Structure 1
Amino acid sequence: MFENISFANPQFFWLFLLLPVAMLWYFFKRKEQTASLKMSSIKGFQKGSILPKLKPALFAMRLLALAAIIVAMARPQTEDISTRTKTTKGIDIVMAIDVSSSMLAKDLKPYRLAALKKVAADFINERPNDRIGLVAYAGESYTKTPITSDKSIVLRALDEITYGQLNDGTAIGMGLATSVNRLKESKALSKVIILLTDGVNNSGFIEPQTAADLAVEFGIKTYTIGLGTNGNAMSPIAYNADGSFRYGMREVEIDESLLKSIAETTGGQYFRATDNKKLEAIYEEINKLEKTEVEEFKYYKYEEKFRPWVYLAGVLLLLEWLARNTLYRSFI
């Protein structure tokens, strides 16, 4: 009956405490309000009217009317809420992903690149109001997808990123410069690069620091992530005769000083991910640091439902008045 109903003045429900008091008063006082007549015999009245037994119904109708008035005073109403959102600060993000052979190392499960793609997909899904692009780099770099608000395109492009699409190597400067190039014409209020690598800059013709300076010039913040465990990791070390990789233990080398320098120069932060959980935590932290400002407007439409209760109270009081002044007018 009261499903999806709210009350504007619920404090009036405290008045229901008066109803038990009224019932007790009626129970103790009703005999005093009824005239009595002592007779030696009632044989002549054995076929009397049923009205005396129904007289308490008058008081019951008055109580029900009072209860209906209390509900009406509480103002039952239905509420219809509509919302409209307005993005006031959009963020353009480019994710620069290292796809060199070392990203096949198995210190993250099942291997580094697969672990990264899973976490990056979750990150993309949690940025519905931002535009995102992808840059892949190894010995060289290229734009996998330009910045776009179509997350299905970005996710499909992310899924297609594999090892072997580029010459092997780690051109951190090239990856960062290509990312800057994708963002330099952006009109967004905030521009961010998330650059991930698991190695040392050893390829490319653009120095990482030069690319970092370009990012500063165009107002682009860069978060850097070093991916790989501490110590040694099961990594590709040679090719087998069938073209597959031969794995062996290899020392994990990450140029952390360079990554820290890039982050500090551009106003970002450096993170180190040594396992799957830490990688997930890093992307969650970046997601919290880079928030899109969304302004939400809520419109409330109320429909009052107190009128039926007023009508019910009126009908009950009218019936009680009619019965008292007709059927029970001369009742003793």
Structure 2
Amino acid sequence: MFNIPADMHFEIAYKWVIYLLPLPLLFFILLPPLRKRRSALLAPFFWRAADVSGRRPKRRAWITRKNLLAWIVLSAVWVCLLAAASSPRYVGKPGKKTKTVRSFLIATDISYSMATTDWIVDGRRTTRWNAVKSIMKSFVRDRKSDQVGLVMFGTNAYLQSPFTTDLETVSWLMDQTEVGMAGQMTSIGDAIAYGIKVFKEDTIKQKVMLLLTDGIDAGNDILPLDAAQAARRDSITIYTLGIGQARGSGGYDLDEKTLKNIASATGGIYFNAMNEGQLKRVYTTLDKLQPIKYDEDTYKPVVLLYMYPLAAAIGLALVYQLLNGIFHLFRRRAI
């Protein structure tokens, strides 16, 4: 049949069905018997025979003989039907199922400046993007109850991964992304505006964006602060992460002021990372600021058994009808 786990127990869902057990007997007692009229053939000498015998004819009803086997079979079928209606089942211990409670969008700069090889990871010099990518993948895999989306931007912004709880796929898609795929320049305002558009397609109310860049906004279409104000109106919290170090007035690698203003406008925080260790600490801090939340549904594993008494009822009825038909067939031939 099937294997029942040891931690499951038997129960009947609708115990009140047992009160329907005497229902057929109640109908038998309260309802009048079925009467049928039949034509009678009276012989010409009927009344003379009645006078000779001295017996007076009476008006009587014809009552069929009680079929004990039919009563037993019908009673068994009724019991099986009630057993099926009561929904017998095996039920396990209540469990918890984690629900998605937040949308977490990562908007990452992949302009040509991210190809700068000024980071050291595991004793080896590597590009900023490869360093960020290796650490970010572990960060993504830890967002267990969040649905994560991925936006890549350079001159233009595009969706690398829609919101999903399949975090392994998000990490894989991140691994397939290379510097320069979105153009050479850095359009921070366009990236935020595109992120807002992605959030509008989502139904979860808690919305968090991590904006990561190492450059200065190119100022093509949408100003970063204007986009940040629009994000605030949509209840989106933006955490900004600057990669690298801001220089003096002679020429900036990183526009920290704009990133700080974006974070401040949306209720987020600005972080800066110039090496692998600092980036790990940023993600650790971000985990504390946006801890993984678990909104759980309670459920019980259930194995339904109603089909077995139902099949028994149908089987009993079919076998009885088959045997009854065979019996009447042989009886007619004997006559």
Task: Give the 5 Å matches for 1:86-105.
Answer: 86-87=97-98, 90-105=101-116
**Partners of 2:98 and 2:297 within 8 A in 1:** no
What's the secondary structure of 2:117's corresponding residue?
A: coil
The residue type paired with residue 255 of structure 1 is D
Structure 1 Cα separation of the partners of residues 144 and 274 of structure 2:
28
Superposition map of 1:305-320 within 5 A = none
1:193 to 2:204 alignment = no
Match of 1:139 in 2: 155
Structure 1 residue 269 displacement after superposition? 0.4
- Say if 1:297 and 1:145 are closer, same or farther in 2 by CA, change over 3 A: closer
Provide Cα deviations, 1:211-239, integer angstroms capped at 9, x if missing partner.
Answer: 1111111110000011014669xxxxxxx
Counterpart Cα distance in 2 of 1:131 and 1:89: 6
Q: Show the counterpart of 1:254.
A: 254
Q: 1:228 to 1:90 in 2, by over 3 A?
A: same
Contact 1:88 1:293 in 2 (8 A): no
Q: Is structure 2 residue 233 aligned with structure 1 residue 222?
A: no
Task: Select 2:189's aligned residue among 173, 177, 183.
Answer: 173
Aligned to 2:128: 112
Contact 1:89 1:292 (8 Å CA) reproduced: no
Aligned-partner Cα distance in 2 for 1:92–1:298: 22
**In the superposition, relative to structure 1, how do residues 252 and 107 fare at CA in structure 2: closer, same or farther (>3 Å)?**
farther
TM-score normalised per structure 1: 0.56
Residues 82 and 224 of structure 1: is their aligned pair in 2 closer, same or farther, counting only changes over 3 Å?
Answer: farther
3-state SS of paired residue (2:253): coil
Does the residue aligned with 2:294 lie in a helix, a strand or coil? Answer: strand
Q: 1:212 aligns to what?
A: 228
1:284 is the counterpart of 2:279 = no
Letter in structure 2 aligned against 1:102: S
Tell whether the 8 Å contact from 1:92 to 1:190 is kept in structure 2 after alignment. yes
Gaps of 5+ in 1: 1-80, 233-249, 300-332
Aligned to 1:173, what secondary structure does the other structure show? helix
| SS in structure 2 at match of 1:293 | coil
How far apart, in 2, do the equivalents of 1:298 and 1:166 lie?
44
Q: Relative to total residues, which structure has the larger strand share, 1 or 2?
A: 1
Give, as a single letter, the amino acid of the residue that structure 1 aligns with 2:138: D
Q: Which amino acid aligns with 2:257?
A: S
State the AA in 2 paired with 1:217: R
Q: Which residue pairs with 1:49 in the alignment?
A: none
Q: Does 1:122 find its partner at 2:133?
A: no
Q: Distance in 1 between matches of 2:186 and 2:219?
A: 6
The one-letter amino acid paired with 2:107 is A
CA distance in 1, matches of 2:108, 2:296: 34
| Distance verdict in 2 for CA 1:270–1:191, change over 3 Å | same
Q: Which residue of 2 aligns with 1:263?
A: 263
Q: Number of matched residues? A: 202
Aligned to 1:154: 170
Partner of 1:37: none
**Cα deviations across residues 116-162 of structure 1 (Å, max 9, x unaligned)?**
11111011110111100111111111111111111122111101111
Q: Which amino acid aligns with 1:226?
A: G
Return the letter of the residue paired with 1:107.
Answer: D
Report the residue type matching 1:91 in the other structure.
R
Partners of 1:298 and 1:167 in 2: CA distance: 48
- Partners of 1:254 and 1:83 in 2: CA distance: 52
Question: Distance between the aligned counterparts of 1:273 and 1:91, measured in 2?
Answer: 25
Partner of 1:164: 180
Flag structure 2 segments of 5+ consecutive residues without an equivalent.
Answer: 1-91, 121-125, 300-335
Following TM superposition, by how much is the alpha carbon of 1:83 offset from its aligned partner in structure 2, in angstroms?
7.0
Q: SS of the residue aligned with 1:117?
A: helix
CA distance in 2, matches of 1:127, 1:89: 10
- Aligned residues of 1:169 and 1:203 also touching (Cα < 8 A): no
Matches within 5 A, 1:25-44: none
CA RMSD of aligned residues (A): 2.5
Aligned twin of 2:302: none
